[in-house]
Structure 1
Amino acid sequence: MMDQKAAPARRGLASKLKTLLAGAVCAAAVALPSGAWAESLGQALADAYRNSGLLEQNRLVLKAADEDAAQALAALRPVLAWSTSARHQYGDFSGSANSASIGLNLTHTLYDFGVGKLSVEAAKETVLVTRQQLLSIEQQILLRAVSSYMEVRRALQTVQLRRANVRLLSQELQAAQDRFDVGEVTRTDVSQAEAALAAARAGLTSAEGSLIQAQLEYEAAVGRKPGDLAPPARLGKVPASVTEAVNIALQNHPAMDVARRQVTLAELTLAQADAVVKPSLDLTAGYQLNRDLDGDFTAKGGSIGLSMSGPIYSGGAVASGRRQAVIRRDAQLANLRVVSSDVQLSVGNAFSAVQIARSASAASAEQVRAAEVAFDGVREEASLGSRTTLDVLTQEQALLDARVSYLSAQVDEVLARYSLLSTMGLLTAENLGLAVEIYDPAAYYNMVKNAPAAISAQGRKLDSALRAIGKE
């Protein structure tokens, strides 16, 4: 008689659970809107590229390096300077006298056995190193944006799953209470449902906190608050083998180019150390006008001369400098090997992470399918009285865990793919085809490479451009 009374309640419970389960599945599948107004990963990356203060800072560092190259070139040119002076002489025997003078002086190094040209080449190489370092910063900015984008998606989907879980367990608790009222279950079943619901609410609170943190990180990485984030449309092509990925990285990664150019810089420094012992030939010229302010006497005169100088003994400083240059060159060669090894290791790890994440995603999808079938079975068996409330709660938790694992596996696969692009040196705005104006690192260098003077037309144009930059 009791079972006959409880049967309608069990059937009603089964219908409610089925509806809630369908809602939970829908939340997992479309946790974030992906319609026409959803924000794409490409848009987020483009905004991160445009809004990054760190990128702007390092672009200015590059401009400063460009100016170093201009100054190295200017050092090869003649230097023309003016001077003026006024003098008052007095004494017990000679009385007093007043005079003034004005003059022009020119100095120019005619020949220094290539020391100046080596300085220019070293400055240019430093510019190229700084450009590659800027690319490294760009990759870091974009990878952080990818990570923050996917973490917001992960956190929001987890929140929605846990909300569905709370609703489902609320129904479970009500059903357990109804069955207790008709004497079908004991108070223990009700308490188990209450404990499961309390744990689900705690999990929801934790997930909501994680979502707030992910949104704050997104705002810091992208430069604005997140909107409705769509699933990433393009995951990027993964090389067929780790060997192919390593070869691409050794050719393209900014760290490799920086290490190679630092070796070149060290060799230029060594060449400069060798050239220090060589003499230099200098031209000096001057013209001066002197006038006696107490009379009409005026004297004009000029001079021109050549001088050659070079070190004979420097207390061992020159020899020490050369030994130091050799050591630093060898250190940079060793660093090149270390960087090459690190890049290969990073690519290998990232490539493996993609494979692992891909397999984990497929396995998690299968886990969700099996957990759904198991939950359906346990739920039906419970409605017939052959399963306890605890069995249903346990299987429902297993299904939730499977769905959360599946969502995380999908996020991890996207992050692994973009991390692999980063280790290969391909995570740049240009390679990704972002809808932004790509920064041209050579533009400023081309304006200053000839070291224009402030009074020249090119110099005035450059000053105007700098003022415009400062107003941005």
Structure 2
Amino acid sequence: MGTWKKAQLACATMLMSAWTVTPAGADSLGQAIADAYRNNPQLEAQRAQLRAVDEQVIQAASPYRLNLGINGTFAYDQQRQRNFLDNFERVSNRRMGVSVSASQILLNGGRTAAAVSAAEATVFSGRERLREVENFILLEVVDSYVSVRRDTLLVAIQQRSVDSYSRQVQQAQARERAGDLTRTDIAQATAQLEIIRTQLLQSQANLEASRSRFAAVVGRNPGVLDPEPQLPGIPGSLDLAYRVAENESPTLWQTIFNERAAKAQISAQRAERNPILSVTGSYGYVSPDSYQTRDLGRAISGAATVTMPLLSQGIIGSRVRAAIAGQQQAQFLVEATRRSVDQQVLTSWNQTISSRDQVVAGERGVTAAEAALEGVRRGFAEGFRSNFEVLDSEQRLLNAQIIVATANYTRYVNQANLLAYMGRLQASLIVQAAPEYDETANLAEQRRHQFGPFQTVLQPIDKALRVPNWSERSRPAPLVPAATDANVRASTTPPPEGALGTALPVTADARPPLPDPDSAPVR
């Protein structure tokens, strides 16, 4: 009895304090987050993708910049043609030259300004996408971290339960030899022992799976893990959580910037109807009849070109309508995403509250189950409690301990999930003195490296020609009218009945028959 009581007290102490005791030299959640933020390949890939998206701004602004090049010519032409004597003679031509040519768009009808606005909105959306990936990768870090701690605790609980049931079997065997118990009592204890042993084996496999998840997302195998600290930034009320998500959720703001990019696309397509003014020029030396450098003569050319579309075969109007539909789609997706984020915030909040209450109830259950088991064991030793009651009390205590461990895990992970959907599960907001990836540095550097001597003059002119007050507006999307009768149609066939289906309609070569395209209905 003394050995069992010490084991039970040790198990209870471990269960109540496993979330607060810090082992020496343990691994911390903050270090795991910092390591994942620094070298997680999925996060690094998303940063590289954002750098690729940055280049869209450089490419969109290219018409503002000077196009300059060197052209070299070294050519030989030969032609046979009939002369006035009715004979064929060979006529050849040799020429060479070198020149510098330049071209510059002066007025672009607002096309470039709209394209730059769309590209910048796409970059902002890409930055929100990077924040979203960071939030959910760190959510996986938190999840795997507490999963390892939960599964480690479950293994310890079930190992202690196996040890306790093993002692129960031994005691039953001893009392059966003394004539106090029957073989049925021994069989009951043995069966329960083997059931718990299988659960222990599954918990050990779950622990290794959680450790592998940790290694995959963090980049190293976990050691002994510190208790997880209270996560910063959790709102004090559900209404505050909704407001924070409205202002900070990267999932939501990603769609908002996509809608802004779609608006700019409307302006860009409408600008295709505006005139373009460009100038070109070249300067060089050309020899039109020989390869002799002494025959090289100076050549200068220059032109100003105005292009005004009149009839575009309907393509411009079609592209404008497509851009309007794209903006309408993006606008609806903003609202759909807002609802989805609010749903996730509500679910995470409720799960946090529910699991908190489960922890409290579970801890009370553990205390009551321990007291009940102790009383039942005492009664069993005195002969007025059955072996079945002891086994039942053991199982009840084990269930209560598992509930507490699982509820602690659920509560913490849902707090992290709440932060992720609000946009606050970021390394810079959780880890003190964490280095932060500057998502704006790449675009700023690339802009500094561009050569555009006329851009500072042309850009404001092009923006003025864009007419942003009306060119980005689109007509409202057509709405589906309300149903005049919302009742469900009367069924004309009975519900499915009969035997279970056992085969698929496949042909002899194990491929399903393809439908006849000629018999398909036209929609």
* Amino acid of the structure 1 residue aligned with 2:27: E
Equivalent of residue 339 in structure 1, options 331, 337, 340: 337
* Amino acid of the structure 1 residue aligned with 2:430: L
What is aligned with 1:406? 404
**Structure 2 counterparts to residues 9-408 of structure 1, below 5 A:** 14-29=1-16, 34-90=22-78, 91=80, 92-93=88-89, 95-236=91-232, 238-291=234-287, 292-293=289-290, 296-408=294-406
Deviation at 1:30, TM superposition (A): 5.3
Structure 2 residue matching 1:228: 3-state secondary structure? coil
TM-score, scaled relative to structure 1: 0.89
Q: Confirm or deny: 8 A CA contact 1:45 1:434 kept in the other structure.
A: no
Deviation at 1:155, TM superposition (A): 0.8
Deviation at 1:297, TM superposition (A): 2.9
Distance 1:409 1:398, change over 3 A: same
Q: Confirm or deny: 8 A CA contact 1:379 1:392 kept in the other structure.
A: yes
* Amino acid of the structure 2 residue aligned with 1:393: L
* Amino acid of the structure 2 residue aligned with 1:211: L
Deviation at 1:259, TM superposition (A): 1.6
Segment of structure 1 superposing worse, 121-130 or 132-141: 121-130
Deviation at 1:389, TM superposition (A): 1.3
Separation of aligned partners in 1, 2:450 and 2:311: 38
Q: Percent identity?
A: 28
Deviation at 1:325, TM superposition (A): 1.2
Structure 1 residue matching 2:273: 3-state secondary structure? coil
Separation of aligned partners in 1, 2:295 and 2:38: 68
Separation of aligned partners in 2, 1:78 and 1:16: 88
CA-to-aligned-CA distance 1:172-216 (integer Å, 9 cap, x gap): 111111211221222221222221222222121111111111111
CA-to-aligned-CA distance 1:106-162 (integer Å, 9 cap, x gap): 111111122112222222221111111000000110000111011111111111111
Separation of aligned partners in 2, 1:51 and 1:298: 60
Separation of aligned partners in 1, 2:65 and 2:153: 65
Structure 1 residue matching 2:64: 3-state secondary structure? coil
Structure 2 residue matching 1:44: 3-state secondary structure? helix
Deviation at 1:368, TM superposition (A): 0.8
Segment of structure 1 superposing worse, 361-370 or 89-98: 89-98
Q: Confirm or deny: 8 A CA contact 2:275 2:309 kept in the other structure.
A: yes
What is aligned with 1:446? 444
Deviation at 1:23, TM superposition (A): 3.0
* Amino acid of the structure 2 residue aligned with 1:170: S
CA-to-aligned-CA distance 1:286-311 (integer Å, 9 cap, x gap): 12311243664332221112110121
Structure 2 residue matching 1:37: 3-state secondary structure? coil
Q: Which has the higher helix share?
A: 1
Separation of aligned partners in 1, 2:55 and 2:103: 22
Q: Confirm or deny: 8 A CA contact 2:233 2:424 kept in the other structure.
A: no
Separation of aligned partners in 2, 1:199 and 1:255: 45
Q: Confirm or deny: 8 A CA contact 1:80 1:106 kept in the other structure.
A: yes
Separation of aligned partners in 2, 1:153 and 1:317: 61
CA RMSD of the aligned region, Å? 1.7
Structure 2 residue matching 1:225: 3-state secondary structure? coil
Separation of aligned partners in 1, 2:39 and 2:332: 37
Deviation at 1:78, TM superposition (A): 1.5
Segment of structure 1 superposing worse, 333-342 or 19-28: 19-28
* Structure 2, unpaired ranges of 5+: 81-87, 452-523
* Amino acid of the structure 1 residue aligned with 2:424: L
* Amino acid of the structure 2 residue aligned with 1:22: L
Deviation at 1:95, TM superposition (A): 4.3
What is aligned with 2:494? none
Separation of aligned partners in 1, 2:45 and 2:234: 32
* Amino acid of the structure 1 residue aligned with 2:338: S
* Amino acid of the structure 1 residue aligned with 2:61: L
Distance 1:279 1:305, change over 3 A: same
Separation of aligned partners in 1, 2:165 and 2:2: 14
Separation of aligned partners in 2, 1:349 and 1:21: 36
Q: Confirm or deny: 8 A CA contact 1:266 1:328 kept in the other structure.
A: yes
* Amino acid of the structure 2 residue aligned with 1:17: W
Separation of aligned partners in 2, 1:87 and 1:422: 65
Q: Confirm or deny: 8 A CA contact 1:23 1:164 kept in the other structure.
A: no
Separation of aligned partners in 1, 2:383 and 2:252: 67
CA-to-aligned-CA distance 1:79-105 (integer Å, 9 cap, x gap): 111211222233443543422121221
Separation of aligned partners in 2, 1:136 and 1:172: 52
Deviation at 1:31, TM superposition (A): 5.3
CA-to-aligned-CA distance 1:441-461 (integer Å, 9 cap, x gap): 0111111123436xxxxxxxx
Separation of aligned partners in 1, 2:234 and 2:356: 11
